Amino acid sequence: MLVSGGASGLGAAVVAAVRDAGGTPLALDRMPVPSAEHEIVDLADGRATELATRRLVERTGGRLDGVFTAAGTDRPAPFGALDGAGWERIVGVNLLGTAAVIRGALPRLEASAGRIVTCASTLGLRVAGDASAYCASKFGIVGFTRALAEEFKGRLGVTLLVPGGMTTAFFDDREEQYKPGPDAKLNRPEDVARTVLFALAQPPGCEIRELVVTSSWETSYP
């Protein structure tokens, strides 16, 4: 099972859940992932990501049953205040990086009739101010995943995960105005990770096409 963004947040929670379930987690991230076989790569570099994915899978035996694309980044700012490089990096990591991981993994996934779970966001279904790049990338993941499901039906399982806010380090480096408020009630990444494994564990021919997983008090959905 390959997880992008496996060093922290939801990705790390899925790595731990796969290991606890008796599986073998593999991880891609900019940082080392001590709990799993991994490759260090910047997912904004699509070609490097494809190569790192292939290297990792081949190095660990060549079989791959599932991919979860958790890697993501954001830098909230008004559109005119975020320079082009910063805006494009968000889209590059979130959307193009997702596609690069899946492209690199595809031959082995097809060989095993495996499963893909992509990670969008509630901001892939609605919009928010000062989040144009993030919304663009997550709306893109929604469309990309739905297209994959149509293209690979009967050959690969494809699920779109739409998570709400979680108690991860994702918000740590933001200005205070862009952080969840002191009364925010967010999901634990460990709980969301269980839903990823649930999607991956479906029998052949049974598809969970889309999962929206939020706190009961989530304000960004619907």
pLDDT at position 220 is 77
CB 28 within 8 A of CB 121: no
User: If you compute the radius of gyration of the chain from its CA atoms, what whole number of angstroms results?
Assistant: 16
pLDDT at position 147 is 98
Q: Convert the pLDDT of each residue in 125-176 to its tens digit.
A: 999 999 999 999 999 999 999 999 999 999 999 999 999 999 999 998 889 8
pLDDT above 80: residue 208: yes
pLDDT above 90: residue 6: yes
pLDDT at position 221 is 76
Q: Is the peptide bond before 222 cis (omega within 30 degrees of 0)?
A: yes
CB 23 within 8 A of CB 48: no
pLDDT at position 222 is 73
DSSP secondary structure string, 144-204? HHHHHHHHTTTTSEEEEEEE--BSSGGGTTS-GGGSPPTT---B-HHHHHHHHHHHHTPPT
Over the chain, what is the mean pLDDT?
Answer: 96
Sequence-ordered alpha helix ranges (H) in the chain: 9-20, 46-59, 84-91, 97-112, 132-151, 189-200
pLDDT above 80: residue 97: yes
- The pLDDT-based confidence of 182 (bands split at 50, 70, 90) is confident
pLDDT at position 53 is 98
pLDDT at position 181 is 86
* Category of 203 on φ-ψ map: left (φ > 0), alpha (ψ -120 to 50) or beta: beta
